[in-house]
Amino acid sequence: MTVTGNLTGTDGELLSVRIEVPWRQLEELLETLAAVSFPINPRLGHGSTTTAVEFPAYSGQLDEVREALKTLGSNGLRMEIHRLWPELAAGAH
């Protein structure tokens, strides 16, 4: 079975956003993300010194996420964006 395509809505393509943050800033990051105009239900992955916060967002919403993150500064924050469709399609095999 071959699955191709992408997940697109009125706000663009659905993407996977991953933000790594020092564990001491986790609460501040979650409060910042709660203030954006769309709902975020993050998945958390705890490491020894950092926590990964992952959630789906449409490409048209990324600027709002970036603007919100600016209020936190860049102290150890790292954001990665990946296409969600290949991950979902890989699970369909």
**Is residue 28, in this structure, part of any structural domain at all?**
yes
**Is residue 24, in this structure, part of any structural domain at all?**
yes
pLDDT tens per residue, range 79-88: 999 987 665 5
pLDDT tens per residue, range 2-33: 444 567 778 899 999 999 999 999 999 999 99
Domain limits for position 80: 13-90
**Is residue 48, in this structure, part of any structural domain at all?**
yes
**Is residue 5, in this structure, part of any structural domain at all?**
no
**Is residue 8, in this structure, part of any structural domain at all?**
no
- Spatial distance between the Cα atoms of 60 and 50, rounded to a whole number of angstroms: 27
- The number of distinct structural domains making up the chain is 1
**Is residue 1, in this structure, part of any structural domain at all?**
no
Residues 6 or more apart in contact with residue 32 via CB below 8 angstroms: 68, 69, 71, 72
**Is residue 2, in this structure, part of any structural domain at all?**
no
Instruction: Give the pLDDT of residue 27.
Output: 95
Instruction: Give the pLDDT of residue 15.
Output: 93
Give the chain's mean pLDDT. 85
**Is residue 6, in this structure, part of any structural domain at all?**
no
Instruction: Give the pLDDT of residue 40.
Output: 95
With contact defined as beta carbons under 8 Å apart, do 14 and 92 qualify?
Answer: no
Q: Assign residue 72 the CATH number of its domain.
A: 3.30.70.120
Instruction: Give the pLDDT of residue 85.
Output: 65
Instruction: Give the pLDDT of residue 89.
Output: 53
